[in-house]
Structure 1
Amino acid sequence: MTVIDLGELRESGPQPSGPVPRSVGRPLRLVLALACSLLVLTAAAPVPHRAAFVLPAPLGTSVLLHDGEVFLLEPGVAPAAPGRLSAWTIPTSSGARPVRRWQVPVSVVSGSAQLRWHADLVLLTGSSGRPDGEFRTFAHARDTGRVRWQRAGSGLSAGPDLLFEDGADGPPTVHSVDPGTGQDRWSVTMPSTVTEYRHRADGVDRIVAVRPGGQVEVWDARRGVRLHTAPLDRAGSPSGTYGVVGDLLLVVELSSDRLTGYDVDGLTHRWDVPWQVPSFFVPCGPLICAQGEAGGVRALDPATGRTVWRDNRWELSGAERGGRMLASGLGRGGWHPLVVLDVASGRVAAELGVWNLVQPATTAGPVLGLRPSGEGRVLVADLDVAAAQARVLDVLPAVSGDCQTDAELLLCRLLDGAFGVWRLPR
């Protein structure tokens, strides 16, 4: 087993080229210049060696990082051949080697699979190679890899249970599934034109079904109970797009160029405002943020629909901490300058430079950024969104990308296709 030499952090190297937003003011530039000078001084000191490991894997391997463990899904030797799913325990010291706890064959066609986690299960969803191309979910036990159950479709977490939806040839039916057995707890058919889910920290808790003619039903996703039924106030036949954010059902009515907000619990009309820009909506702190298809952010007051602030320079990057959030400058290519925005005002709190964000295993996990550092190395930084600063952690060699992180580990694909794993500093 090869141990990756992390080396010494000498310099950050050139940043990738990319569009830079217009200046946010001379005082901020002076502060940033001072911060860069301190960063160079800090970078001149050696960085302690971190525990680092390599997990061999052929090209095409999918990976799941969860709670300090790594699960690898290797493709079969032929396009239709079964692959292999394995579980690895990562040691705490660099003198030990990763331990493969189990390895089992899988019945999923290479290149079609998705790995997820729920309760004590590794969920593998992908094409089973059947003539109809049906996607199935296989629930593997965390401790042994044994398949506990399988069923058609792809499940969503809904508290302790899973939600599966079927009905490609007819009205959709939602099934609540016991993760221990794979059996239905309950199921309900919803003859709807649109089905939306409200997500909480532990999964879906409400199902919103829009029936032909505009009748809306709200269901408790944990109990299978219909809570509310009401017609939409403004139009008979649905003519727009729908979304659920927080405690609001948002309807963009294309026929009248209006955005309307309804309470999910009760379906009472809360407000409506003029709206013409195609958008998708996400929560951002106490506000609702609309992201335009061509870029730009517009923050709304969920109580009134009033626009609190808007800025056409940014795209949201998904990370929010302590009343601040990350956004990136617009432009072509995969590298964009990152900024920290104050959620309440949209004001720029800091410019962090050009970074590529690492996929976090959980929404509460650390926010890490990568960028090239010269000589085939990659600079890693902790992007502290709440403090509006970037703190350099390490320089890693031979990283090609495809990185994930949780509270303990950083995992990245290496240039030769294997995976490098590093323990994060505490």
Structure 2
Amino acid sequence: MTDSVIDLGELRHDPDPEPQARPPRAHGRPLRCALVVVLALVTLAASAVAPPRRAPVTLPARPGSDVMLDGDLLLVMEQTNPTRQGRLAAYRLPGGEPVWQAPLSAEARYWGITPLAGMLLATGYEIGPEGRDTLTIALDRATGAYRWQQPGTASPLTDGNVLLRSGGETLPSSLRAVDPCCGTVRWQLSGISGDMFVRGDELGVDRVVLNQLNGPAEVRDAITGAVLARADLRPPDGGPISVDLTKDLLLAIDRGSGTVTAYGLDQLEPRWTRARLHVDFALDCGPVLCVRTGNNELQALDPASGEVRWRSSQWGWAWPADGRLMANLSGVGPLEQYIVLDALTGQQLADLGRWELYQLGAGGRLVGIRRIPNGGVLVGELDIAAGKVRTVDVLPDATGECQAITGYLVCSDTPAGSYQLWKLTG
């Protein structure tokens, strides 16, 4: 599983500074893998009765700002530029009245916010003399007042505390669990060499795996920092391995030989081994384990035995929802086309069309948007269980770059240098 940090949607025209090496998982953040329906819904939108014109709320924010919704607060994060310091501003919904604003460090580029225990944890990175490192700043949700700052990327823990992970690349790595109220350290570990991985869900992170470069792998309880299991997972020749986590399995991937061995996560006992399997990454696909192979094939494995249940080069990646799988169609261009599959057989059950897709909260609604040819935006909700798309709203006056956030659509108004916020009807 990846981080539980909530990525802010970005209404910008320039590319992101760091494209992700693997697709986002369904639970963490808005699915920005573009995480729109063309043919079927064009007919639906054209035949629908036009809704009454609604005036949006206009917010004074610079183009390229990041936005998110937390309860009744709309948060707008403006990045530092050569003429103005960055800031995080909060507006009260539904009217958009200003509540507070807080300055952000001019040396950092922020990319995520984690709301937790009355705090807003803003995470970013800064360039220092030894390289680039991440940092997290805690602000009071009610007032925007500064509370504390520590190195690392923030992930909520299942006990309500926060796990901060820092370092990597050219910097030494460290872990620390802290209280979100005041930054008090619960436990910490520094001088880590190798990769760090976390396992978690909508309730938070509960396991940390350290894949040391020249030593054994460790599984730790993320709440206490205690070592649950330790084992040398490297092949007989001592070569390096890559690690991936899914559910209760740890996959040790020997890219040199193309061998994958699955271990039980908490005790690192061997479960099964597959030869000649070149894995790029693994995905939780509910009753099956999905792996994306080096030849652009998606394979569904039996998690108990490693045997192949089905395989296809049509789908780029997949994740479970409502007892089924939703997958995207490989090679369809900038817009993602989404398919519903039977998890155990790989049979296609429905075609949901093309969407710019957002998951609104962990385990929440899958809402997508697309441009209407004659202007405006169509908003739909993807129902995986039914294999259908429900029209949420049609906003003929929405312009600019848009994204869905819980209950709203926000669009940049580039000529005016502001944002428009539309309350959705569905």
Q: State the TM-score, normalized to the length of structure 2.
A: 0.80
**Which SS does the other structure have where 2:75 is aligned?**
strand
Provide the residue aligned with 2:86 in structure 1.
Answer: 83
Whole-Å separation in 2 of the counterparts to 1:38 and 1:167: 48
Whole-Å separation in 1 of the counterparts to 2:154 and 2:83: 24
Shift in alpha-carbon separation, 1:415–1:353, aligned structure 2, 3 A: farther
The one-letter amino acid of 2:385's match is A
Q: Structure 1 residue 402: deviation in Å? A: 4.7
Map 1:275-354 → 2, pairs under 5 A: 275-292=276-293, 295-316=296-317, 318=319, 320-331=320-331, 333-354=333-354
Whole-Å separation in 1 of the counterparts to 2:258 and 2:42: 51
Most deviating of 297-306 and 287-296: 287-296
Listed one character per residue, the Cα deviations across residues 131-175 of structure 1 (whole Å, up to 9, x for unaligned) are 666543211111000011012222222221112234556753311
Which of 79, 88, 111 is matched with 1:114 structurally? 111
Whole-Å separation in 2 of the counterparts to 1:238 and 1:209: 17
The one-letter amino acid of 1:360's match is Q
Superposition RMSD in Å: 2.9
Whole-Å separation in 1 of the counterparts to 2:274 and 2:54: 53
Whole-Å separation in 2 of the counterparts to 1:314 and 1:128: 36
Whole-Å separation in 1 of the counterparts to 2:418 and 2:318: 28
Provide the residue aligned with 2:57 in structure 1.
Answer: 53
Whole-Å separation in 2 of the counterparts to 1:154 and 1:212: 22
Provide the residue aligned with 2:258 in structure 1.
Answer: 257
Conservation of the 8 A alpha-carbon contact between 1:196 and 1:209: yes
Provide the residue aligned with 2:222 in structure 1.
Answer: 221
The one-letter amino acid of 2:154's match is G
Q: Structure 1 residue 271: deviation in Å? A: 0.3
Figure out how many residues of one structure are paired with residues of the other and give that number: 382
Query: Per chain length, whose mean CA-contact separation is higher, i.e. which structure has more relative contact order (CA < 8 Å, sep 6+)?
Result: 2
Conservation of the 8 A alpha-carbon contact between 1:250 and 1:259: yes
Q: Structure 1 residue 39: deviation in Å? A: 6.1
Conservation of the 8 A alpha-carbon contact between 1:337 and 1:352: yes
Q: Structure 1 residue 42: deviation in Å? A: 8.7
The one-letter amino acid of 2:373's match is G
Q: Structure 1 residue 238: deviation in Å? A: 4.3
Task: Name structure 1 gaps, 5 residues minimum.
Answer: 1-34, 92-96
The one-letter amino acid of 2:85's match is P
Shift in alpha-carbon separation, 1:41–1:164, aligned structure 2, 3 A: closer
Conservation of the 8 A alpha-carbon contact between 1:369 and 1:380: yes
Map 1:117-128 → 2, pairs under 5 A: 117-119=114-116, 120-127=118-125
Provide the residue aligned with 1:31 in structure 2.
Answer: none
Provide the residue aligned with 2:208 in structure 1.
Answer: 207
Q: Structure 1 residue 231: deviation in Å? A: 2.7
Whole-Å separation in 1 of the counterparts to 2:218 and 2:369: 44
Provide the residue aligned with 2:66 in structure 1.
Answer: 62
Whole-Å separation in 1 of the counterparts to 2:252 and 2:404: 34
Provide the residue aligned with 1:385 in structure 2.
Answer: 384
Conservation of the 8 A alpha-carbon contact between 2:114 and 2:154: no
**Which SS does the other structure have where 1:283 is aligned?**
strand
Shift in alpha-carbon separation, 1:292–1:372, aligned structure 2, 3 A: farther
Conservation of the 8 A alpha-carbon contact between 2:360 and 2:366: no
Q: Structure 1 residue 258: deviation in Å? A: 1.2
Whole-Å separation in 2 of the counterparts to 1:211 and 1:372: 47
Whole-Å separation in 2 of the counterparts to 1:245 and 1:259: 14
Conservation of the 8 A alpha-carbon contact between 1:66 and 1:117: no
Shift in alpha-carbon separation, 1:414–1:210, aligned structure 2, 3 A: same
Whole-Å separation in 1 of the counterparts to 2:334 and 2:40: 23
Provide the residue aligned with 1:145 in structure 2.
Answer: 144
Provide the residue aligned with 1:413 in structure 2.
Answer: 412
Shift in alpha-carbon separation, 1:362–1:275, aligned structure 2, 3 A: farther
Q: Structure 1 residue 50: deviation in Å? A: 6.4
Q: Structure 1 residue 129: deviation in Å? A: 7.4
Q: Structure 1 residue 414: deviation in Å? A: 4.0
Shift in alpha-carbon separation, 1:228–1:181, aligned structure 2, 3 A: same
Task: Name structure 2 gaps, 5 residues minimum.
Answer: 1-38
Whole-Å separation in 2 of the counterparts to 1:80 and 1:323: 51
The one-letter amino acid of 1:90's match is L
Listed one character per residue, the Cα deviations across residues 190-241 of structure 1 (whole Å, up to 9, x for unaligned) are 6443322212322221111233445222110011111112233853624231
Whole-Å separation in 2 of the counterparts to 1:38 and 1:145: 43
Conservation of the 8 A alpha-carbon contact between 1:214 and 1:238: no
**Which SS does the other structure have where 2:345 is aligned?**
coil
Most deviating of 394-403 and 277-286: 394-403
Conservation of the 8 A alpha-carbon contact between 1:69 and 1:88: yes
Whole-Å separation in 2 of the counterparts to 1:103 and 1:424: 26
The one-letter amino acid of 2:199's match is R
Whole-Å separation in 2 of the counterparts to 1:37 and 1:118: 35
Provide the residue aligned with 1:364 in structure 2.
Answer: 363
Provide the residue aligned with 2:99 in structure 1.
Answer: 101
Conservation of the 8 A alpha-carbon contact between 1:63 and 1:115: no
Map 1:184-195 → 2, pairs under 5 A: 184-189=185-190, 191-195=192-196
Q: Greater CA radius of gyration, 1 or 2?
A: 1
Identity, % of aligned positions: 31
